[in-house]
Amino acid sequence: RTFGFMKDVERLWASGHALGSSLDNSLVIGDDNSVINPGGLRFKDEFVRHKTLDAVGDLALAGLPFIGCFRSYRSGHRLNAETVKALLSDKSAFDIVEASGVRKNSRASDFVAVKPNIAAPWAL
């Protein structure tokens, strides 16, 4: 589910964005940086999971599988897209390699590692 700040809701709705959002499908952060959804977080690291999945999807837009290290701090789709664009614009910054074989029984944990963000008040 997506997440956002309560202070932004009126502005988003007025501009025609997030019209289908609700506490059922969005995680809402209040003015005091607390999650206001009655059920709270579904996972302790829900924000990290969301941002990680966003980054994986944004990197996939490069058109080839990404093998490497990607680190970000509070990035979003725009910054991720700009990063991919900058990477691809410098031919010396990447290599395209052929896989030597098919990997079987892969799990997401084989490819993605995250550390908790200690700067996020809701992660403490």
Tens digit of each residue's pLDDT (9 = 90 or more) over 42-62: 999 999 899 999 999 999 888
Return the structure tokens found at 79. Answer: 């910054």
φ, ψ (nearest 5 deg) of residue 80: -60, -45
Cβ atoms 70, 80 nearer than 8 A? no
pLDDT at 107 over 80: no
pLDDT tens-digit series, residues 8-34: 999 999 999 999 999 999 999 999 999
Q: Which of 77, 82, 85, 112 does the annotation list as catalytic? A: 77
Stated pTM of the model: 0.68
How far apart CA 105 and CA 98 sit, in angstroms, is: 20
Domains belonging to the chain, first-starting first, are 1-40 (no CATH), 44-124 (3.30.1700.10)
Is 50 one of the annotated active-site residues of the chain? no
